[in-house]
Amino acid sequence: MDAELRKRLKVYRAIDNNHRLNILTTLFDEPDIAFNDLARKTEIERGLLAYHMGVLKDVGLVESEYERRSKKSSKYRLTNEGIEILKEFKLDEISTKKREG
């Protein structure tokens, strides 16, 4: 099976999860959000959030920066692929509705 199909399977597996969908739409609304703020907004406990971010990073939908200088906090944003997958499933429109609502 070609690498592209394998990658697609991994992405679908990754986004077939309510917590991770919630994270993706939150990141669409608030790029470069700090880990602790993301935990608060998504209401996902921090240990579990660390795992879900790991999954999303592993399939290339999310990227992060870790700042050691200030509060040693990670910040997260969607990659271009992450934005594309949101658009494919119209999750960007749900985010927009959430903002407008």
Partner 1 sequence: MFKSLQEARKSIQEKRRELERRVGETSIIVVLLGVGNKGLERRRNLDEKLEEVGILSLVPEDDFAPDVAPSLTEEAILERADVDLIFINVESWGSATEFGQFHDKRDIAPKLRVLTPYKYHPIYGSSTSYLTDLYLTHTVKYGHVYAYDNSSRSAFPTSEKIVITIATRYRRLVALGKI
- For partner 1, the binding residue among 41, 63, 81, 94 (CB under 8 A) is 94
Find the shortest distance in angstroms from Cβ 72 to partner 1.
7
Paired tokens of 32:
């470069």
Query: Which token pair is 65?
Result: 């920066």
Calpha distance 74→54 (Å, rounded) = 12
State the minimum distance, in angstroms, from the CB of residue 80 to partner 1: 19
* Number of neighbouring beta carbons within 10 Å of residue 8: 13
Structure tokens at 12: 């679908």
Q: Which residues contact partner 1 by CB under 8 A?
A: 1, 5-10, 12-18, 21-22, 25, 35-36, 45-55, 57-59, 64, 66, 72-74, 89-91, 93-94, 97
